[in-house]
């Protein structure tokens, strides 16, 4: 009964979103949303078939697909309603990611003695006990929402990397600190630059047109899925090949200590496919004041999304390994935490925004 009610609620959210977009005459958004929903319906069939056949990954794909349904449904509804709803939703996304990042770190100074492979002791020292500075980081989110909402681009682009970046160390001085400030400031800077400034670019992207945001979101998330399946396929192919340059090329790891399974072949292959897939968005893009997005430029943007999405994933894998966690959280079944879902977007959203802004404005 509970499952049936959740499916009905999900269907209601999706239906209302399509109805609102239809009423607004947003045919471009309807096309993209229709494709996304179609893909989710396809994977919903796939995991059921795999479960009947006893596939080993059936439950993982099931959890991932159901979570994707809910994320897409809420995201669709946020974009289909009033602009302030979209801004509020995206602001909550930034807040959730920042809060999750801070929650991964110890709140008091700790020293952990751990052994390494060569027998030498390793000391890990983390200090994170700055409630006032953390509160300021959180308060910067509604401020950046307001600035983006009124389309004050000049302030939006410097508010976090200039003013907040200067305010935090000044606060440490006022607190008369002489120890741990550099370490705390580094952690705080990573948090507000990644999850308020970089991810917050999605707020100003709404001003360009919701379809631009959908372009970046869709290509980034498809890249994540594509990279996973290409990695599996290339690994299987390399395992059946004789030792040679092609096998070594397929198995060439990007950063084995950071992510043992990530290869250049899967990463660059995904980026090329995403670059080609980006061309489908050209007829859907809005009319910009200076010039329109051409196929050549959109292919370049798509490739950058594919490449930076790869390194966004790897950068946060590095951070999680340094902290000593596998996933950033458990809030999203099958995916992990919020950061596990937005890690690539932290890199792809700002580069997409600035490339389009530079080219068209």
**pLDDT tens, per residue, the chain with 361 residues:** 557 787 888 889 889 999 999 999 888 899 999 988 888 888 788 778 877 777 666 777 777 788 878 888 888 888 888 889 999 999 999 999 999 998 887 665 555 555 445 555 544 444 556 888 999 999 999 999 999 999 999 999 999 999 999 999 999 999 888 777 888 888 899 999 999 999 999 999 999 988 999 999 999 988 988 888 888 888 888 888 778 788 888 888 999 999 888 999 999 999 999 999 999 999 999 888 778 888 999 999 999 999 999 999 999 999 988 888 887 777 776 667 899 889 999 999 999 999 999 998 8
* Helix ranges restricted to H, 81-151: 83-103, 131-149
- Does residue 215 share a domain with residue 328? yes
Of 128, 243, 132, 142, give the one whose Cα is nearest residue 186: 128
Contact assessment for residue 101 and residue 339, using Cβ atoms and an 8 Å cutoff: yes
- Structural domain total, the chain: 3
CA 30 to chain centre: 22
- DSSP secondary structure of 108-133: S-EEEEEE-TTS-EEEEEE----HHH
Q: Which neighbouring-strand residues pair with 114?
A: 122
Contact assessment for residue 65 and residue 49, using Cβ atoms and an 8 Å cutoff: no
Last residue of a domain, one of 81, 108, 139: 81
Q: Would you give the DSSP letter of residue 194?
A: I
- Does residue 213 share a domain with residue 203? no
- Does residue 354 share a domain with residue 292? yes
Label residues 229-242 b or e (16+ Cβ within 10 Å = b): ebbeebeeebeeee
- Does residue 242 share a domain with residue 332? yes
Helix, strand, coil percent content, the chain, rounded in steps of 5:
75, 5, 20
Last residue of a domain, one of 63, 81, 99: 81
- Does residue 344 share a domain with residue 214? yes
- Does residue 345 share a domain with residue 223? yes
- Does residue 125 share a domain with residue 35? no
Contact assessment for residue 318 and residue 328, using Cβ atoms and an 8 Å cutoff: no
Of 70, 73, 71, 51, give the one whose Cα is nearest residue 60: 51
Domain of 202, in residue numbers: 83-208
- Does residue 309 share a domain with residue 255? yes
- C-alpha 139/C-alpha 155 separation (Å) is 16
pTM, two decimal places: 0.88
Last residue of a domain, one of 81, 99, 118: 81
- Does residue 255 share a domain with residue 294? yes
């Amino acid at each position: 009964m509970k499952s049936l009610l959740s499916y009905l609620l999900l269907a209601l959210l999706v239906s209302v979103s399509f109805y609102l977009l239809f009423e607004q005459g947003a045919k471009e958004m309807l096309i993209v949303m229709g494709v996304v929903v179609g893909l989710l319906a396809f994977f919903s069939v796939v995991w059921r078939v795999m479960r009947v056949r006893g596939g080993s990954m059936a439950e993982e794909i099931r959890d991932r697909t159901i979570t994707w349904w809910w994320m897409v449904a809420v995201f669709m509804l946020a974009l289909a309603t009033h602009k302030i709803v979209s801004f509020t939703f995206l602001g909550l996304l930034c807040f959730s990611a920042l809060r999750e990042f801070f929650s991964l770190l110890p709140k008091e100074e700790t020293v952990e003695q751990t052994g390494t492979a060569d027998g030498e002791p390793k000391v890990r020292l983390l200090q994170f006990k700055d409630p006032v500075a953390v509160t300021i980081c959180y308060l910067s989110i509604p401020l950046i929402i307001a600035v983006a909402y009124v389309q004050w681009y000049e302030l939006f682009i410097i508010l976090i990397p200039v003013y907040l970046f200067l305010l935090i160390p000044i606060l440490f001085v006022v607190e008369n600190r002489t120890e741990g400030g550099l370490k705390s400031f580094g952690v705080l800077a990573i948090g507000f630059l990644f999850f308020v400034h970089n991810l917050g670019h999605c707020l100003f992207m709404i001003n360009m047109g919701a379809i631009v945001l959908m372009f970046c979101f869709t290509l980034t998330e498809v890249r994540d899925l594509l990279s996973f399946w290409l990695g599996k396929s290339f690994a299987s192919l390399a395992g059946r090949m004789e030792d040679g340059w092609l096998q070594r090329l397929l198995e060439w790891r990007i950063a084995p200590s950071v992510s043992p399974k990530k290869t250049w072949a899967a990463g660059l292959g995904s980026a090329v496919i995403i670059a080609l897939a980006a061309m489908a968005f050209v007829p859907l893009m809005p009319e910009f004041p200076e010039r329109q997005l051409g196929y050549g430029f959109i292919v370049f943007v798509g490739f950058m999304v594919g490449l930076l999405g790869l390194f966004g994933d790897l950068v946060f894998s590095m951070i999680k390994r340094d902290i000593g966690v596998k996933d950033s959280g458990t809030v999203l079944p099958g995916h992990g935490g919020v950061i596990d879902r937005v890690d690539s977007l932290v890199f792809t959203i700002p580069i997409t925004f600035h490339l389009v802004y530079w080219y068209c404005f």
